[in-house]
Chain A
Amino acid sequence: DQQVKQNSPSLSVQEGRISILNCDYTNSMFDYFLWYKKYPAEGPTFLISISSIKDKNEDGRFTVFLNKSAKHLSLHIVPSQPGDSAVYFCAASGGTQGGSEKLVFGKGTKLTVNP
């Protein structure tokens, strides 16, 4: 059973437009959520995170929204740039319920930003 789901394997957007990547989770004990970005032939890199006590966290062009009642989070990239083309992984952890070894990743969404 998948605890963290990224239902869209791929997403294509035009440069300058908004990219919205979605993630759903099933475990109500998750209280910390992260997004990682991965370029081909490189390791994933941490992008942005949000604690369950917040519903929004913003860092430059990247904003993560958390809807706890729907068990849903999304990553918004505005404006999208060709360099944002990568695979994005959503991840969730149990925070005080467990350490980083309890981190659960989604399967990833491949974002392509077209010039």
Chain B
Amino acid sequence: IAGITQAPTSQILAAGRRMTLRCTQDMRHNAMYWYRQDLGLGLRLIHYSNTAGTTGKGEVPDGYSVSRANTDDFPLTLASAVPSQTSVYFCASSRETNTGELFFGEGSRLTVL
């Protein structure tokens, strides 16, 4: 089934550790995004990439980095995790970059202790 695959589904991590959340799409969408969802705060954009080889900062980029070496993969890295990064992380992609119609993965629940 075409779509977005995120891994891991869930992870408990000690503070200070490095963590990479993986995201792969098979829809050949140019644009990809990482959001975090926190209770009472909705969905907030962390980083995005409009095409392979380019990335940009979203609303809450601090403490996170991304890379876009190819069209399909868009990993999100926490260099040194902190408890405030406990959240559910959603990767998304879009066929067009100007409509807001996104396809989301099923999420990665990260707990930083």
Contact = CB atoms under 8 A, between A and B. Distances in A.
B33 A42 contact: no
Contacts of B27: none
Contacts of A115: none
Nearest to A34: B100
A105 B43 CA distance: 6
A49 B45 CA distance: 20
Nearest to B9: A41
B9 to A, nearest CB: 9
Interface stretch (B63-71, B76-84, B101-109): B101-109
A45 B102 CA distance: 8
Most buried by B among A32, A43, A45: A43
Nearest to A102: B100
Contacts of B45: 101, 103
> Looking at chain A's contact residues, is the secondary structure mostly helix, strand, loop, or mixed?
mixed
A103 to B, nearest CB: 4
Contacts of A92: 100
Interface in A21-58: 32, 34, 36, 41-46, 49
A93 interface: yes
B56 interface: yes
Smallest CB-CB A-B distances: 6 pairs: A43-B104, A107-B42, A93-B100, A99-B97, A105-B43, A101-B48
Given A100-B97, A101-B50, A103-B45, 11 more contacts: A43-B106, A44-B43, A44-B104, A89-B42, A93-B99, A95-B98, A100-B96, A100-B99, A100-B100, A103-B102, A105-B44
Interface of B: 4, 31, 33, 40-45, 48, 50, 56, 58, 90, 92, 94, 96-107
